[in-house]
């Protein structure tokens, strides 16, 4: 069995290949070829955390795997990330275990890659101003991924901690071909932004309709029990796209409060969800039809994305001779 640690996974991940590789997996999901049960979790109420299991079989990637992932929101501001994960990969022909790899890096990368894929499908071609809401792992990954699909020249970073926002802005400015500034409020970061990457643990909306420019594309990946990143007015006005209708409308620990709350309150119905990413990719649903329409991609993170990412990492590891082979028998 091949074993890969986090630094090895990070070295093997190629963001461009990952953005491209997620497409067939999302089409498999929308067309019913992929097998992906609902996420289940063991709760740790003392820490507001959980351990979830996320299995999937993705024929286009030849991938059968399960991810074990923890979400411990109180890790914010500590050396440990809020999301930590392991991925176990099995042979889809025999069921034999084939690999064990760090899933923390994959979770960060595939989430950002899927948001970038949503921007490729829905954002205006001339989008140059990116607002990054949040200062953690996902905020950083999203800044890098979005710059790969649109000609981003200006990045605004905002978060609850002004010092962390400044540090991230400085880091991104050194790494990316863009002007990067830290701003004191979410409203200021959103003012005039063409692209929005919301990756926070905020219980109150950080994306509000009054703050958004016409035609903005929002990728929202934040997940907080009892809270949401996007306000009702934005959801109601936006062309809404998701990874999976079933996943986004499922109860906690799956599902998205950003959509479940306005459905509960009668602001929208479930039919307001326009499309899954796979439906945009296979052409069964249209994408943006107006330059001024706001578009919203609401992500809950789905296991087919982890499966596609793990398959790419394992293929690269075997090609480059990276990782340790450990016999199980």
pTM value > 0.85: yes
Residue 223: per-residue pLDDT? 86
> Which of 218 and 252 is assigned the larger pLDDT?
218
Q: Give CA–CA dist 24/317, Å, rounded.
A: 21
Beta strands at 295-298 and 239-242: parallel, antiparallel or unpaired: parallel
CATH 3.40.50.720 fits 122-301, yes or no: yes
What burial class does residue 134 get, using C-beta atoms within 10 Å of its C-beta: 0-12 exposed, 13-18 middle, 19+ buried? Answer: buried
Q: Both tokens of residue 236?
A: 């109601």
- Residue 276, strand partner residues: 242
Instruction: Categorize the per-residue pLDDT at 265 as very low, low, confident or very high, splitting at 50, 70 and 90.
Output: very high
What does the pLDDT read at residue 78?
84
| CA dist 108 → 121, 208, 260, 269, 305 (Å) | 20, 25, 24, 30, 11
Beta carbons within 8 Å of 173's beta carbon, 6+ residues apart: 179, 180
Extents of the domains making up the chain:
2-107+304-325, 122-301
CATH hierarchy code of domain 2-107+304-325: 3.30.1780.10
Nearest to 229 by CA among 258, 266, 256: 258
Tens digit of each residue's pLDDT (9 = 90 or more) over 108-145? 999 999 999 999 999 999 999 999 999 999 999 999 99
- Token pair for 311: 């398959």
Q: Are the folds of 2-107+304-325 and 122-301 the same?
A: no
Q: Are 65 and 279 in contact (CB under 8 A)?
A: no
Q: How far is residue 79 CA from its own chain's centroid?
A: 21
Alpha helices of the chain — where are they, by DSSP H?
6-12, 15-30, 104-122, 137-146, 162-175, 186-190, 232-237, 245-248, 257-264, 277-282, 303-320
């Amino acid at each position: 069995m091949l074993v890969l640690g986090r630094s090895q996974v990070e070295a093997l991940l190629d963001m461009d290949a990952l953005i491209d590789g997620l497409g067939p997996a999302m089409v498999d999901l929308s067309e019913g070829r992929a097998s992906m049960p609902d996420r289940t979790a063991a709760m740790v109420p003392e820490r507001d955390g959980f351990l979830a299991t996320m299995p999937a079989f993705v024929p286009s990637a030849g991938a059968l795997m399960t991810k074990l992932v923890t979400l411990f929101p109180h890790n914010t501001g500590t050396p440990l990330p809020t999301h930590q994960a392991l991925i176990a990969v099995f042979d889809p022909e025999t069921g034999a275990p084939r690999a064990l790899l760090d899933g923390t890096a994959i979770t960060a990368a595939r989430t950002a890659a899927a948001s970038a894929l949503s921007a490729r499908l829905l954002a205006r071609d001339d989008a140059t101003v990116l607002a990054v809401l949040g200062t953690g792992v996902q905020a950083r990954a999203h800044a890098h991924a979005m710059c790969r699909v649109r000609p981003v020249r200006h990045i605004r970073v905002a978060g609850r901690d002004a010092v962390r926002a400044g540090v991230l802005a400085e880091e991104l400015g050194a790494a990316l071909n863009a002007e990067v500034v830290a701003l004191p409020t979410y409203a200021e970061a959103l003012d005039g932004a063409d692209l929005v990457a919301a990756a926070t643990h905020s219980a109150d909306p950080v994306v509000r309709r009054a703050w958004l420019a016409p035609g903005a594309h929002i990728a929202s990946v934040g997940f907080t029990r009892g809270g949401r990143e996007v306000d009702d007015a934005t959801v109601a006005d936006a062309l809404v796209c998701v990874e999976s209708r079933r996943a986004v409308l499922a109860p906690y620990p799956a599902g998205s409060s950003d959509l479940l709350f306005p459905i509960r309150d009668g602001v929208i119905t479930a039919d307001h969800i326009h499309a899954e990413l796979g439906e945009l990719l296979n052409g069964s649903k249209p994408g943006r039809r107006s330059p001024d329409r706001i578009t919203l991609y609401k992500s809950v993170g789905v296991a087919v994305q982890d499966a596609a990412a793990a398959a790419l990492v394992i293929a690269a590891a075997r090609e480059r001779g990276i990782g340790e082979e450990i016999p199980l028998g």
